[in-house]
A = this chain, B = another copy of it.
Amino acid sequence: MKSYSQGYVQVYTGDGKGKTTAALGLAIRAIGAGLKVFIAQFLKMGEYSEIKTLKKLSDHITIEQFGRPRFRQGKPLPEDVEAAQKGLEKIKAVMAAGEYDVIILEEANIAVWKGLFTEQDLLDIIDAKPIGMEMVITGRGATAKVIAKADLVTEMKRIKHYYYNGVRGRIGIEK
C-alpha cells in the first residue's frame, strides 16, 4: 500500500446519475497513479460494460460482486443477506491485508436501506479503514451517521433526468 496520505472516506449519494461513474472514474485515476483498487459491488450481478474495460487493467484492480440487484417482491431472501455479509467479511479481510490503496463499496448505502446489513455494520467498516487507504461509498440514501463519519460527501442531485422521458438502461451509457 502506497500510503501517501492518511486516506479519507468519500461518500457519493443522492438521486442523480453519476454516483457509480464517479467511483469508477476515481478508480481510473488511482490506477493511473500506480495505486491498487478493490471494488466491492453490492446489489450488482453480471458483467456490466465498465467491468469489461476494467478487466483489461486487472493487475491493479479487483472487482467482486456480492448479491443480486433485485429481490422477489422487493424483499431480500436469506441468500441475499448471506451474499452481502460475505461481502462485508471480504472487505474486512481486504482492509486487514493492506494490499489495496483504494476500496470502493458500491451501493453500500442501498444495502443498508434494503436491510442486507445494518447501518452499524457499515459504520464498523468505516471505523476499520486502515490509515493510508481511501474509502469510497456510493448509493442513494446515505444515513446521517454515515455522512457524519465521512470526510467528503457529494450529493448527486437530479435536476433533470431523461429516465422520466422513457430512456433507460442503454448498454455503454447506463450499464
Contact = CB atoms under 8 A, between A and B. Distances in A.
B162 A151 contact: yes
A72 interface: no
Contacts of A52: 32-33
A126 interface: no
> Which interface residue of A5, A25, A170 has the most chain B CB atoms within 10 A?
A25
A1 interface: no
Contact of A5 (B48, B147, B167, B175): B167
A172 B29 contact: yes
Given A50-B28, A172-B33, A17 B154 contact: yes
A154 B49 contact: no
Interface residues of A, number: 59
A140 B13 CA distance: 18
Nearest to A16: B154
A6 to B, nearest CB: 9
A157 interface: yes
A134 B24 CA distance: 19
A18 B28 contact: no
Contacts of A56: 56-57
18 contacts: A18-B18, A18-B154, A18-B156, A20-B25, A21-B22, A21-B29, A24-B24, A25-B28, A25-B50, A29-B49, A29-B173, A32-B50, A33-B52, A152-B160, A152-B161, A152-B163, A153-B160, A153-B161
Interface of A: 4-5, 8, 10, 12, 14, 16-26, 28-35, 48-54, 56-57, 101-102, 134, 147, 150-163, 165, 167, 170-173, 175
